[in-house]
Amino acid sequence: MYEFWSCPIISKLVKICRDILSGSEQSQEPHTAASFSKPLVVTREHHVVSRKQLSPNALKVLYRLKDAGYDAYLVGGCIRDILLGLEPKDFDVVTNATPEQIKKQFRNCRLIGRRFRLAHIMFGREIIEVATMRGHHSVEQEEKNKSQASDQGQLLRDNVYGTIDEDAERRDFSINALYYSINDFSIHDFAGGIEAIKNRRIELIGDPETRYREDPVRMLRAVRFATKLDMTIAPATEKPMFKLASLLGNIPAARLFEEMLKLFLNGKAEANFDLLRHYGLFTYLFPALDSLLNKQPDGPELALIKQVLSNTDKRINAGKKVTPAYLIAAFLWYPLQAQAKRITAQGETPFNAFNIAMNQILSDSAKAIAVPKRFTIGAREIWQLQHRFDKRGGQRAFRLTQQPRFRAAKDFFCLRAQFEPELTELATWWDNYTEQDAGSQKRMVSELNKGSKSGGNYRRRRPRKPKNSSNKRHD
């Protein structure tokens, strides 16, 4: 990793940045509009960002916009990550061209979004997102339907365009208000982002409460950036999160599902879970589970969830895949069990109660996060297979292994056994069974059935009575 901060020139630039942003004593405070009057410009020879580290497709977009007479910058996470010594994954571009003007320059462009109008430039599987520089809102603009805010201050529509200075003020965190110019390869720092990176601090630009009200998802992003970048959330930035967490209830369920994936499938799931619960944000993603965890803080529920997230982090950091269906099944398993128990107490059979509870839990969960059907189907299959692991006689064990979701269901069953002692022996049997060849598997089932005629929950069928030959039809 390049020791970016060991360079004396950079240290001097950081000092200049601190002086520009009203002095080191005020550096912990949110940056206001006055902070943007004189941005810090780091010339090419004084920073480590090289075009070799950038996506060739992103460079194509930048150069084409530049050649067409527009201003174009790389912005946000890609610049931040390179300064931190990380490999950037996404390359976002900002320009003074409108979405329609961008589309005219690229045949492989599609415009998306209503709340934020964006241009996606398609290069095979890589997408370069291009946004028009945002401006400030006014009553006149709201009347023209260019922008719209709710009674709580949340921005419902935000297609007001402006200058790069205004766009920087509209960015969420100071570490994301870094602009790389394709004209002279300099970095423009409008909000003390370089200093925030040095101090490893997540801080909102502007008044934190106002910014959270504009877009409550920023609270989730603050958590995700803090764990992903190994930073701390600045006191002024985290203070309003406790009282404004309820604003997440106004966010569309589909958007919260996308944020949930970013939080729990980025290799920092366990750390994100802890921070979300600390700030009271988790309940707006999985209310049923959060309620259960609050009622039983020392029960197996919390231990299982923590282990699931720890295992998820290990798989993702090892380059392995994790299906959201497995996470949904794990998060909602104990709420499902509790609901099925309540329905059984009302007189339903356990089998019917379980199926009714599945529908109710998934329906209630959809009010918070809109999980696509392909993942809820997967979660259902994992749940249903949990009740088949004790049925091993005859061909049942083999047939169970042929189910599409068997591996995920078996992993979850064995995980449950770590916190539910009554499942330990059965889980060990299945671990051994899946490691054997076909012949050994048959012997395991035979030995299981020797102890009892009903061993492995296998029941011999009664022989059919022969049909009466007199009842046969004769033509």
- φ, ψ of residue 373 to 5 degrees: the values are -60, -35
How many other CB atoms are there within 10 angstroms of residue 240's CB atom?
19
92 is catalytic: yes
Contacts 24+ apart (CB under 8 A), 222-228: 222/173, 223/263, 223/272, 223/275, 223/276, 223/279, 223/281, 224/262, 224/263, 224/266, 224/268, 224/272, 225/173, 225/175, 226/202, 226/275, 227/268, 227/271, 227/272, 227/275, 228/266, 228/268
Nearest to 181 by CA among 44, 16, 55: 44
- Two tokens at 174? 């100071």
172 is catalytic: yes
DSSP state of 406: H
Torsion of CA 302, 303, 309, 314, to 10 degrees: 170
Does residue 117 contact residue 111 with C-beta atoms inside 8 Å? yes
- Active-site annotation holder among 90, 207, 364, 411: 90
Does residue 147 contact residue 136 with C-beta atoms inside 8 Å? no
- Active-site annotation holder among 92, 158, 167, 189: 92
Three-state secondary-structure class, residue 473? coil
Q: Could you give the CA distance from residue 407 to residue 204 in angstroms, rounded to a whole number?
A: 43
- Active-site annotation holder among 167, 172, 189, 290: 172
Per DSSP, the residues of 298-350 read TSHHHHHHHHHHHHHHHHHHTT----HHHHHHHHHHHHHHHHHHHHHHTT--H
475 is catalytic: no
Q: Could you give the CA distance from residue 286 to residue 256 in angstroms, rounded to a whole number?
A: 11
Helix (H) / strand (E) containing 190: none
404-407-412 Cα angle (round to 5): 120
- Two tokens at 423? 């499942």
Q: Could you give the CA distance from residue 10 to residue 195 in angstroms, rounded to a whole number?
A: 10
User: Which residues are known to be catalytic?
Assistant: 90, 92, 172
